[in-house]
Amino acid sequence: MAEGETPKTWIFIRDGDIVKNHSIEGLAFARIITDVQRVIDNIGASKYGKEYKKEDLRLYFKDLHEGSVVAPMYPISYPTSPDNKNLFTEITGIMERLITTLNTKPDLFREQLESEITSPPERIGLLKSLASLSSSNTPVEIKTSVEKPQKGHFIPKHYTSYLNDLLIDYGGYGEVSVSGVIVRINGDKTYYFTIEAKNGHKYVCYFDPSEEDTVKSLYKKWVGFKGDMTKTQKQTKIHSVKELTEVKTETLHNAENYVFKEPITFDVHYDNDDKLWCIENESLSLSGYGTSYNKALNSLTDEIEGHILSFTNFPDEKHSSESLRLKERLSDYIDFKAAKRIIDGKYGGV
């Protein structure tokens, strides 16, 4: 194939913490490229086993395009798979399908992951790389095509904790990011706290005694931190807790299968009196409350569906001026017609 006709994996890194004036931090760029390469290798090794040769799909790039930072990457050659398909597009296609499912139908992601990536070690490796890609403050977009696309697929940052939860479930290890509520503190001979994570599991987390005051100040609060995870048959532990802070906002790109046109930032906290996880956006009249994070998300989804039905089933003249102003604000984030189709499919027409 001529160079202009060959597929490439385009990496878009928009302006943000690591990108300024079409320039990117070297270490950050190296991490992103390494994560993408590892995802491709994990998929290839899982799908083709010993027949997959990592050196055949080593990615190279030779120029950066303007548009924040846009880097087209491609292998030196384009080997074929055992069934005579383009190995590069086969593997990058799986990568993009997984990312798309995570974005648009997150409830189906785990099932698809297990179907596409049958090797447990490669599944863990892939999740580590996807979690790393999602943790960037600047979204990393990925798309394989011959010509430069307008945009690519990316993993919203709020999925980092979900991917880490999957890592724990599959027996992964290493550095993880965790978000949840501190429910117990031990400060005798061994300093640790117990966190109820967003996935509903409880983990014992060991911290340096010098951080005791910080930990105590965050008791029964919604926090986030990083640490090194180990797992035994009886217990999952997180060591060397660092970057422990209270979480006050959370940005969501979707609620279940309702994907927002633009991310919505919510105020979040844990109400210890009522034992409720709270997710709120006063301006958009959206809120969710529950005794677990997932129940709070379900509550938020119910409220979103209520707004959708109200504004699609009743004409504007049936709404107050205040209600119409809310509709206008929500329209910046929710495609009402598309969302109504999802509701009809979910409930059989409402």
Mind listing the pLDDT tens digit for each residue in 122-177? 999 999 899 888 877 677 888 999 888 888 888 877 788 788 878 877 877 777 88
Mean pLDDT of 249-257: 84
- Look at the alpha carbons of 159, 163, 164, 166 in this order and tell me if their dihedral is positive or negative: positive
| Rg, the chain, Cα only | 22
Among 11-15, 51-55, 192-196, the range scoring the smallest mean pLDDT is 11-15
Rounded to whole angstroms, the Cα distance separating 245 from 243 reads 6
What pLDDT is stored for residue 282 in this prediction? 97
CATH T-level topology, domain 174-246:
OB fold (Dihydrolipoamide Acetyltransferase, E2P) (2.40.50)
Q: Tell me how far apart the alpha carbons of residues 247 and 268 are, in angstroms, rounded to a whole number.
A: 7
- Percentage of the chain modeled with pLDDT above 70: 93
Q: Does the pLDDT at position 299 exceed 70?
A: yes
Give the pLDDT mean for 184-212: 90
pLDDT of residue 71: 76
Q: What is the pLDDT of residue 4?
A: 58
**Over 90: is that where the pLDDT of 312 sits?**
yes
Q: How many of the other CB atoms lie within 10 Å of CB of 138?
A: 21
Does residue 3 register a pLDDT over 60? no
For residue 53, give both structure tokens: 């040769």
Q: What mean pLDDT comes out for the span 204-215? A: 93
Q: Give the pLDDT of residue 280.
A: 98
Confidence (pLDDT) at 18? 65
Q: Evaluate if residue 214 carries a pLDDT over 90.
A: yes
To the question of pTM greater than 0.85 for the whole model, the response is no
pLDDT band at 38 (very low <50, low <70, confident <90, very high): very high
60-101: pLDDT as tens digits = 876 666 555 677 888 888 888 888 888 999 999 999 999 999
Bridging pattern class, strands 202-206 and 191-197: antiparallel
φ and ψ at 164, to 5 degrees?
-65, -35
Q: Say if CB 11 and CB 99 are below 8 A apart.
A: no
Look up the CATH architecture of domain 3-156: 2-Layer Sandwich (3.30)
Please state which of the ranges 151-165, 179-193, 218-232 shows the lowest mean pLDDT.
Answer: 151-165
Tell me how far apart the alpha carbons of residues 201 and 178 are, in angstroms, rounded to a whole number. Answer: 11
- Residue ranges per structural domain of the chain: 3-156, 174-246, 249-347
Band (212; pLDDT cuts 50, 70, 90): very high
Q: What is the mean pLDDT of the chain?
A: 87
Strand partners, 279: 268, 288
Distance from C-alpha of 117 to C-alpha of 43, rounded to nearest angstrom: 6
- pLDDT above 90 covers a percentage of the chain that reads 48
Phi, psi dihedrals of residue 219, rounded to the nearest 5°: -60, 135
The answer to whether residue 33 scores a pLDDT higher than 80 is yes
Question: Are the C-beta atoms of 141 and 11 separated by less than 8 Å?
Answer: yes
Model confidence at 27, pLDDT cuts 50, 70, 90, reads confident
Residue type, 327: K
Kindly indicate the confidence band of residue 349, based on its pLDDT and cuts at 50, 70 and 90: low
Which helix (H) or strand (E) segment is 314 a member of? none
Per-residue confidence (pLDDT) for residue 21, from 0 to 100? 65
pLDDT of residue 115: 95
